[in-house]
Amino acid sequence: MADYEAVDDVIETVAAVAPDVRAGLPGRRLTEAGVENPSGETVTAADVHADELFFEALGAIDGVVEFASEEREAAVDVADGTAGEDGLAVAIDPLDGSSNLASNNAMGTIVGVADAPLPAAGTDLVAAAYVLYGPITTMTVAREGTVTTYVIDGGEMTAVEEDVELPDEPVVYGFGGRVPDWPDAFHDYAREVESELKLRYGGAMVGDVNQVLSYGGIFAYPALDSAPNGKLRLQFEGAPIAKIIEAAGGASSDGERSLLSVEPTDLHQRVPVHVGTAEYVERLEAALAD
């Protein structure tokens, strides 16, 4: 089993690196890295910068033996020979919503921590966190079943909310993909939700999920007719976000089961993502089962 002291080191290191990620954004506003990532997506210079900063810092932590990123084909062995194979693996989306940089909208970083080796099921995550680069930089962390939100200022992390829970009354929804590409059952479900909640969709999962955590409601990037497994990646987006939302009293689903129970088969596997207020997740599963 891993040394769980190192989990604190991972969380603190993410907080310490976040300001450097933010500082690197202005100079990389419109620059592409000219490469594609394992998901076949265009990689921006900001993606590469964030990935390298987190690789450097997280790979140097005693007790972290594996580093995997949305931007890298395979997990990297970062054991320094002392920890051997026993140790923590970190799965990271270094810059989530990086296409929002050109339009100066919110972006984030998503991190999952598990015993090595990856890929890991969400149930095996020992911690999950996201950083939100919004008007201020915040970090939301799920550990041992509870969620804490921190403000990050100059690399210092200050807890501002403990035992975070989704509000009882849901208010917002945000659904990704193009409407004509939604399967009929999701389309019908979306029509119902639209008549009940307010639309909040910003195009970066972390920003949209943080709205759901703050106000209650549902975020989904569903299965599409053109992409039956949706767009988001289980290891780097779906599982860590589900860990946080479920620890905050919400629910998650791939359409049939909790995202935490989805069998990990490939480091970059995609999964339909629905997270938020349990009532809306249950209604979604019923709509898709019909």
User: Are the beta carbons of 122 and 219 closer than 8 angstroms?
Assistant: no
Which residue's Cβ has the minimum distance to ligand AHG?
Answer: 205
Which residue's Cβ has the minimum distance to Mn ion?
Answer: 96
97 is a site residue for ligand AHG (CB under 6 A): yes
Candidates 24, 134, 183, 203; binder of ligand AHG (CB under 6 A) is 203
Query: Which parts of 220-249 interact with Mn ion (CB under 5 A)?
Result: 237
H or E element that contains 93: strand 88-96
CB of 22 to Mn ion, least distance (A): 15
User: Are the beta carbons of 17 and 133 closer than 8 angstroms?
Assistant: no
Between 108 and 264, name the residue whose CB sits nearer to ligand AHG: 108
The per-residue b/e assignment along 224-251, b for 16 or more CB within 10 angstroms, e otherwise, is beeeeebbbbbbbbbbbbbbbbbbbbbb
Closest CA to 129 of 3, 40, 243, 46: 243
208 is a site residue for Mn ion (CB under 5 A): no
What is the β-pairing status of strands 42-44 and 251-253? unpaired
Residues near ligand AHG (CB under 6 A), total: 13
Is 208 annotated as a binding-site member? no
Candidates 97-105, 122-130, 159-167, 243-251: pick the segment binding ligand AHG (CB under 6 A). 97-105
Positions touching ligand AHG (CB under 6 A) are: 41, 70, 93, 96-99, 176, 203-205, 221, 231
